[in-house]
Structure 1
Amino acid sequence: MRFSTITFKNIRFNIKRYKAIFLSISFGICLLFMFCSFYFNNELLLCVKSKVDLGTINMSFMVLIVFLVVFFSYAYKEFINSRRKEFALYISLGMTVKNIIKIIVVENIIIMLFAWLLGVVTGSVFANLYHLIITKLLAITNIAFSLNITSFLITLALLAGSFILVLLVSMFSIKKLSISELKTADQSINKLSKPQPLLAFISLLFIVVPIIILSLTVRNILKLKPYTAFIDVLLSLGGLFFFIAYGGDLVIRLISKNKAYFYKHLVALKEVNKRFFQLRKVLFVLSIGALAVIFLVGLSVGTAVTIDDVANNRYPYHISYNLDERDKAEFEQQLYSLATPSEIKLQQYKSCEAIKLYELANRKGKKLQLRNINIIKRSSANKYFNQNFQLQNNEVICIINIEETEDYYVIENLSITTKDKSITYVTLIKQVYIGNLSNIGRCTIVVTDDFYNKIIEETNADLVTYYTYNYYNLEETIKIQNNLMQKFEQIKTTSLKGKFQSKAAKNFGYPICKQQYIKNSRVASKFTIFIMFYIALIFFVISGVVLYLRVINSLEHSRKRFRTLNELGMNNEALKKIISKELILVFLLPVFLGGIMAIAFTFATYHSFLYMTKILLCLTISMIFYLLLQVMFFTQAKRKFINEVLKSTF
């Protein structure tokens, strides 16, 4: 019999398995191709870059690639492992390992090519819709849809690479096959380690403690290196894996305290715990997928919900800009006229002169080079910030715009070098948080009026004046900003030509519009939510496919297991309860664990965010919505699985 004949007979015999892996791979390729058609469209990406941070897109692409590699590898691996008994049968009939590998290669190349073709064809059709949605969200025009060869090559290389990786690993395991595996092919799934409740408790500590350390590191309570945050995440995820594997042992140990309940449900508890241990790797992957889905969706929606709150805190003024001493005399009145048109009623106008500093002494006495460090006299600061600061001659107040500032920005003494090279030190008496005043900078020093005048007289200080405007009608401020921007372009290209080199310096002083920030943030958030929902959809569907493949591949083993329980006297209803408990844990527990981990990581990482309550609420809603979807899948899977298992049992 030819290998081609054997191959096509295998495909016909295993049509359900081939159908599952074929459709799942095609779906993954389709979604990846759609994303690649956007990601490698340089003209479109250039327009997107001007409106959205590319870091979000790059991160999404890398996460998508990694997750699809894991998924394709797992799908191939499960498909090959599910046929180990079949391959052992071929060996008993006289086939060699090389013959079996040849069959695997031919079968999977056929599957891979047809799945890739179906994926790129459907992806090409829907990529146009994907392109249309992105251009509509970002209000991009005159960018035509086009396909690029890179998208085809990336999807093919990813699929082929995953297949080759799994094939190399499978070759070593197939070489160990023998006729005896006909009898032992299903026994490996029955292997179960001794109960390890202590290991489960330790793994729980490995989940909680690194998250606490991460939170303390972000708070700057623990002085640890930034890379320790990555280690904390890995340790916490490692603890999650072992908790999934051995958490059932801990639960059983706790339940055993209630003797009556424990012995009444002993068989069910043992069977559920055994099944949970057998599926530990799959459940861990599903938990990571749920973590990613809930984190991406919840955080993107939460960020969109808090746009107005962030704008109100970051930009307490509708329009703000600043001028240095040379430009002030020439352009101050012109800019004021542009900022106060007759048709728009002005509510409040403020200005504040400050000294720009670049050299600062930190708490350890070492020199720091920082930008936008300003010195303001007390009388001006009280008017500008609506405060009532009181100071002595050698005292200063540090105003910061970050609620929980790192030590890098903490100032204990300030050194001023006068014309005669003498150095004057002043002492910080307190540090005050007054919102995120972006037009001022990260740090502002308030000194007495006399000391401020002395600094100007005895140093070559650069002076800058900050201007802020509030209006009764916020919607009209974008027009004002556009007029101011045109004027600032003239200023920067004439009097300050060649002075500013870096990108940040070139933007220094330009007018900031609160309404423009809100508008841009809303556009960017719509795009981010769309991308995050797209990635989340891929994770959600692929996680379901992984679970489906694992459950279907263990169907024969489940039939034997429940047949044995039936022979021991367990009736139909009792078996249904065990199946229901197993499936409800398999379907819902990973989502719950992933959601809790997502909330914990978010709280630990973004705890200083002013509107964390709304972010956490969005994460919680995302987790609940995910659980509801899983309940729907659980209901369908439960009915089908019970019918498949019990029809051969009774």
Structure 2
Amino acid sequence: MTFIELVWKMAKVNYRKYLFYFLCNSFVVMVFFMFSTVYFNEGIRNANEMDGESLSTILMIPSVALIVFTVFFIHYAHSVFIKRRKKEFGLFLMVGMSDKDISKVLLLENSAIALLSLGVGLLSGSIFSRLFFLLLMHVLEMESIAFELHITMFATTVGVFLIVFSIGVAKSILDIRREEVLTIFKEDRVTEKNKVRSPLLGGVGLLLVIGSINFQYYFFSNSDYDINDGLVLLVGLISLLSGLFFTISHFGSFLIQLARSRKSVYYNRMLFLANVEYKFKQVKGISLLLITMTMVTIFYTSMLLYFYASAEKLAEEQRIYDVSFAQTAMKNAISDDELKQLFNTDNHEIKEHVTLDVLDYFEQSPLGDYFNRYSFLSAEQFNQMYSKHVEVSPGEMIRLDNITPEYHDPYVDHENGEGKYSIALKEIKLTEKQSIIEPVFDQLNIYEVNFIIVHPDDYDRIAQKLEVYKSTIHVLNLSNWEKSGDAYVTWKEQLKKQNGIEGQDPLLSRLDYSTEEVLLEPQAKIEVYNSNRKAGGILFFMSSFLGALFFVSSFMVLYLNIFSSIDQERMTFHKLYKIGMTKKEIRKVLAKELRLLFFLAPLLGLGIAFSYVAIFAKDAGGIVDNPLFTVNFMIVAVFYFVLQIAYYLLAKHRFMKEIMGDQKS
């Protein structure tokens, strides 16, 4: 009989084992490839709509989590498959096959499974990824971005899978070659020994978990340090997972040591504690995987709800007026009638339209080959916008820094003996009366944040005596800005076409630090609102995708763990039953073990997810100032645990039925 015939006969006899192993690997390949089609899509990565954090930063946590999932899931599926095959290998060794022959069998059958898994996984991933991609683009209203399939996606998926898969196969071959035939036959009846039982390592792991969370909280979005946020998340997450692994590995021993300090607790729960220690030796990798999956699912879904629920609130906070734009001598020209025709519809209308004329003067700096820019505003017009009335006399000025105080960087060109700011431009001299540091109107790219407010008479003198460039700031408030999206897009397109027809604008020609299109870009709440909704759409797609994936995966992982060793568990139950334990007592012990397995990892994942919510909430002022973060987190967490409880009850019922059989108490 040839090796191929031998492998084929084993596959036909044990087709369920092979089928489940094949499906697990195909599932991982499909999922990883589907994620790659989004992560490596150039259209999404370069989309103008993606404001704020880049896609790479947004997807850093799920990327690492998916790699961890891939490594552990493939490794665990392979371990279960080999464990259920070892008696066959032991039998082959007894009838005369060598270690080398067993290695050939393993290589042959695993190579076939790997190739089939890659083929089926990539094919199904290509089909389903297109469906998910089209759904994503529809949600984000980014249909212009094309679906892509290129070599990077295939190479990354194939490379990661083959590396992890090959390591697992190589480890199995080495284990088989090292073990004796008798050991292989007795393996399912020999308990695993914990080679290292150190509470100290558990403590180090716990400190590493706490330290990594604090590291990320302190350095993420911290403007005092020039550190990439993606790097902070990557380093912090790797440290966090490493610390969790050490902590989980020694949890059982720590629990027993703690219980021994109270003898009544220890002896009343000795069987349960011993089983817990044994279980945690077996499931430390699974527990880490479940913690990671729970953390990513709850965290990203919570952030999704926040982005959707607070998109309007964020737009209100980031924009003072509903629509703002600058009109120069030749660009962005539009009449009041044209504005009314655009924005006065059945859905919305203009409630307020205020204009503010700006005079820009450029003076050659005596300190270098550059120009000082002065933007003058009339106090009379400024008071139409400013909530607090200001008064200024001829020869006086008020400095306005149109920015929040936390971003204010004071800059003084000239100071007189009293420390007051003053300027002298030909026949015009102005002395500072006061300064205002607050956002009065929305910042436009064409202007700097510094303005000079003067008396109307001085404003007229500046217009007559100096070579200035006049422009106008328009601000509009609408009755229902949330529905102004279509009108705003139409208006922007009209301005863009009109600006392309006109010649070069005198003011814009002095501003060579940016393009004309960027300098003339309007600002609107609806644009910020749509941007936040689209960012939420990315999170919606990824959190829905990863949430469904991780919940199904947790089911598969727990299923593998619980039911792969069902025969051994059943034998243990019969032995305990024979020495006098009742069915009720055994059921109670098994129920405690299942509860620990089902809920300890999700609870730890829940706590870590909340820490990441607090980390990402820093940009919005923190979770204290934004209770919506906590509310959304609690909604998602409760929903997740309701599903987990339902799954636990179903698994418990089947597990008890498989273990107990028809035994009577």
User: Which amino acid letter does the alignment assign opposite residue 468 of structure 1?
Assistant: V
1:277 has 2:281 as partner:
yes
Q: Equivalents in 2 of 1:579, 1:442: separation in Å?
A: 70
Alignment of 1:21-36 (within 5 A): 21-32=21-32
Q: Partner residue of 1:182?
A: 184
Query: What's the offset of the Cα at 1:86?
Result: 4.1
1:449 has 2:454 as partner:
yes
Mapped contact 1:413–1:427 kept (Cα < 8 A):
no
Mapped contact 2:65–2:292 kept (Cα < 8 A):
no
Which residue, out of 280, 295, 298, partners 2:299?
A: 295
Which residue, out of 600, 603, 619, partners 2:633?
A: 619
Question: More deviation in 438-447 or 575-584?
Answer: 438-447
Question: More deviation in 452-461 or 22-31?
Answer: 452-461
Query: What's the offset of the Cα at 1:600?
Result: 0.4
Q: Equivalents in 2 of 1:183, 1:296: separation in Å?
A: 46
Distance 1:448 1:468, change over 3 A: closer
Identity %: 21
Q: Equivalents in 1 of 2:542, 2:431: separation in Å?
A: 52
Distance 1:134 1:229, change over 3 A: closer
Q: Partner residue of 2:648?
A: 634
Mapped contact 1:303–1:615 kept (Cα < 8 A):
no
User: Which amino acid letter does the alignment assign opposite residue 28 of structure 1?
Assistant: V
User: Which amino acid letter does the alignment assign opposite residue 412 of structure 2?
Assistant: L
Mapped contact 2:90–2:184 kept (Cα < 8 A):
yes
Q: Partner residue of 2:339?
A: 339
Q: Equivalents in 2 of 1:558, 1:536: separation in Å?
A: 31
User: Which amino acid letter does the alignment assign opposite residue 524 of structure 2?
Assistant: C
Deviations, residues 521-540 of structure 1 (Å, cap 9, x unaligned): 54664464134312322232
User: Which amino acid letter does the alignment assign opposite residue 387 of structure 2?
Assistant: N
Structure 1: gaps of 5 or more residues = 360-366
Which residue, out of 506, 514, 517, partners 2:517?
A: 506
Q: Partner residue of 1:102?
A: 104
Mapped contact 2:300–2:539 kept (Cα < 8 A):
no
Question: More deviation in 451-460 or 284-293?
Answer: 451-460
Query: What's the offset of the Cα at 1:469?
Result: 0.4
Partner-residue secondary structure (3-state), 1:607: helix
Distance 1:437 1:234, change over 3 A: farther
Which residue, out of 479, 495, 507, partners 2:487?
A: 479
Q: Equivalents in 2 of 1:157, 1:219: separation in Å?
A: 33
Q: Equivalents in 2 of 1:272, 1:141: separation in Å?
A: 52
Partner-residue secondary structure (3-state), 2:581: coil
User: Which amino acid letter does the alignment assign opposite residue 273 of structure 1?
Assistant: E
Q: Equivalents in 1 of 2:650, 2:293: separation in Å?
A: 21
Mapped contact 1:559–1:649 kept (Cα < 8 A):
no
Question: More deviation in 50-59 or 181-190?
Answer: 50-59
Deviations, residues 30-66 of structure 1 (Å, cap 9, x unaligned): 4455566778888xx5899465679548948955873
Q: Equivalents in 1 of 2:186, 2:222: separation in Å?
A: 56
Distance 1:505 1:588, change over 3 A: farther
Query: What's the offset of the Cα at 1:309?
Result: 1.0
Mapped contact 2:286–2:557 kept (Cα < 8 A):
yes
Which residue, out of 379, 403, 406, partners 1:400?
A: 403
Question: More deviation in 200-209 or 600-609?
Answer: 200-209
1:322 has 2:323 as partner:
no
Alignment of 1:376-525 (within 5 A): 383-387=384-388, 398-401=401-404, 405=406, 409-415=407-413, 432=438, 437=442, 439=444, 444-445=449-450, 449=454, 465-474=472-481, 475-476=483-484, 478-479=486-487, 482-483=490-491, 485-491=493-499, 494-496=502-504, 499=509, 506-519=517-530, 521-522=532-533, 525=536
Equivalences, count: 626
Alignment of 1:534-549 (within 5 A): 534-549=545-560
Distance 1:243 1:157, change over 3 A: closer
Q: Equivalents in 2 of 1:485, 1:142: separation in Å?
A: 16
User: Which amino acid letter does the alignment assign opposite residue 137 of structure 1?
Assistant: V
Which residue, out of 86, 92, 95, partners 1:93?
A: 95
Q: Equivalents in 2 of 1:458, 1:186: separation in Å?
A: 97
1:235 has 2:233 as partner:
no
Question: More deviation in 99-108 or 453-462?
Answer: 453-462
Query: What's the offset of the Cα at 1:484?
Result: 5.1
Q: Partner residue of 1:348?
A: 352
Query: What's the offset of the Cα at 1:123?
Result: 5.0
Distance 1:140 1:235, change over 3 A: closer
Q: Equivalents in 1 of 2:287, 2:589: separation in Å?
A: 18
**TM-score between the two structures when normalised by the length of structure 2:** 0.76
**TM-score between the two structures when normalised by the length of structure 1:** 0.78
Deviations, residues 324-346 of structure 1 (Å, cap 9, x unaligned): 4x448xx65x3444223395543
Q: Partner residue of 1:362?
A: none
Partner-residue secondary structure (3-state), 1:414: coil
Q: Equivalents in 2 of 1:573, 1:456: separation in Å?
A: 95
Q: Equivalents in 2 of 1:215, 1:627: separation in Å?
A: 26
Partner-residue secondary structure (3-state), 2:181: coil
Partner-residue secondary structure (3-state), 1:94: coil
Mapped contact 1:92–1:178 kept (Cα < 8 A):
no
Q: Equivalents in 2 of 1:632, 1:560: separation in Å?
A: 28
Q: Partner residue of 2:315?
A: 311
Distance 1:457 1:91, change over 3 A: farther
Mapped contact 1:287–1:590 kept (Cα < 8 A):
yes
User: Which amino acid letter does the alignment assign opposite residue 80 of structure 1?
Assistant: I
Partner-residue secondary structure (3-state), 2:250: helix
User: Which amino acid letter does the alignment assign opposite residue 545 of structure 2?
Assistant: Y
